[in-house]
Amino acid sequence: MNTETINCDLCGSDQSEQLLVGQDFLHGTKGQWPVVKCIDCGLIFTNPRPAPESLAQVYPDDYNPYRQRKRKKINRRWKIRRWAMQHHWNYPPGPGGLFAKIFSFLFILWTRFHYRNYDLFPWQGRGKLLDYGCGGGKYLNRLKDLGWQVTGMDMSEQAVEVCKKQNLDVRVGINMDKEFEPEIFDAVTMFHVLEHVPSPTETLTQVNRILKNDGLLVFAVPNIASLPARWFGKCWFPLDLPRHVTHFSKETAEKILAKTGFKLEKTLAQQHGQTISSSLNYLARVTGKQKFKCFSRFKRICYLVELLSILRGQPARIVVQARKVRKINLNTEPPK
Ligand SMILES: [Zn+2]
């Protein structure tokens, strides 16, 4: 596999310190991958990393997000959730009276501890939304159910085909500048994408261009500053080397947003449920100690441990909500 060595994507520095050296536990591709921290700005990234011409080797055809998923049934819980979002966040057809507002507020508060928090964000403008890195369209369908007028984009032709079979408007590629006119979207979502792209600042600059003024950006990324990341080190499940090339924390996410014309509004914890048990399995493989594998079978205890990291404010995954506050052109702006 060919590799490339890069400078820090956030500040351009070539000065870094090595934090750990990991491997591909998920798909077993060969190689040892150093994770480094920029000495100047603190951004953490994989360096060296797979070169662009070798990416096909680290994303096999059966890569999970590309698969078609069964569409979730519209059950009673989903209907209540949609109702709450209508009254709390002005989703169509618009909010009702005071009682609806109070109960929807309580429901949204409750969902913070029970859901993955992906689609829990306010309505924006006329509801034109791009889901960048849409995979097999799972969340495009959910967002469409909530009333958004959705467009998707993904680098995988296979994933785009899966979406098109479901009559979704989806483009193939990674360059948003080529596909879309400036300032046409009210909201852009990126669920577990930014950690994969070669240059997050370039991707966010493109998002800045296609978003309307005051537009909403929502993305989810693993949190390298989390408690589970510190506990498990190179065995931390969401590290996912070498596919994850940038490893964000809330602090570095905020810096990269500021550089690309956004203001961070809030971060939420995203629950997963398998972070601890999968990390324990990796730990068993590395150390050869079967006791870690045994621990990993106690799913409820693993779940409680994950909940503990969320309650301590250091969850393994974060959902970041940001707003476009200024237009950006990196070619004419001095680097920060
Ligand atoms: Zn840096």
Helices 250-259/200-210 angle, 10° precision = 50
Does the pLDDT value for residue 18 go beyond 50? yes
- Tell how far the Cα of 239 is from the centroid of ligand 1, in angstroms: 19
Residue 11 pLDDT > 70: yes
Query: Which residue do the tokens 């997963």 mark?
Result: 272
Encode pLDDT of 155-199 as tens digits: 888 889 999 999 999 999 999 999 999 999 999 999 999 999 999
Task: Report the pLDDT value the prediction gives residue 336, as an integer from 0 to 100.
Answer: 46
The closest alpha carbon to 161, from 130, 188, 134, belongs to: 134
Percent of the chain with pLDDT over 70: 91
Q: What is the DSSP string of 87-114?
A: HHH--TT----HHHHHHHHHHHHHHTTT
Distance from residue 77's CA to the centre of ligand 1 (Å) = 44
**11 alpha carbon to ligand 1 midpoint, in Å?**
4
CA 19 – ligand 1 centroid, Å:
15
pLDDT digits (tens, 9 = 90+) for 89-130: 999 888 888 888 898 888 888 877 666 666 789 999 999 999
Residue with tokens 């969850």: 315
Q: Is the pLDDT of residue 330 over 60?
A: no
Enclosing H/E stretch for 257: helix 250-259
- Sequence-distant (6+) residues with CB within 8 A of 174 are 153, 155, 197, 203
CA 7 to ligand 1 centroid distance, Å: 8
pLDDT at 242 over 90: yes
pLDDT given for residue 115 in this prediction: 63
Residue 182 Cα to ligand 1 midpoint, Å, equals: 29
Query: Who wins on pLDDT, 106 or 21?
Result: 21
Dist. CA 45 → ligand 1 center (Å): 10
Question: Is-contact 161 170, C-beta < 8 A?
Answer: no
Q: What pLDDT sits at residue 299?
A: 84
For ligand 1, the distance from its centroid to the CA atom of residue 38, given in whole angstroms, is 5
Q: How high is the pLDDT of residue 47?
A: 97
Give the distance (Å) from ligand 1 centre to CA of residue 10: 5
Residue matched to tokens 């309307």? 212
Confidence (pLDDT) at 111: 77
| pLDDT band per the 50, 70, 90 thresholds, residue 70 | low
CA–centroid distance, residue 55 to ligand 1 (Å):
24
pLDDT in tens, 286-323: 999 888 888 888 888 888 888 888 888 888 999 999 99
Cis peptide before 48 (omega within 30 of 0): yes
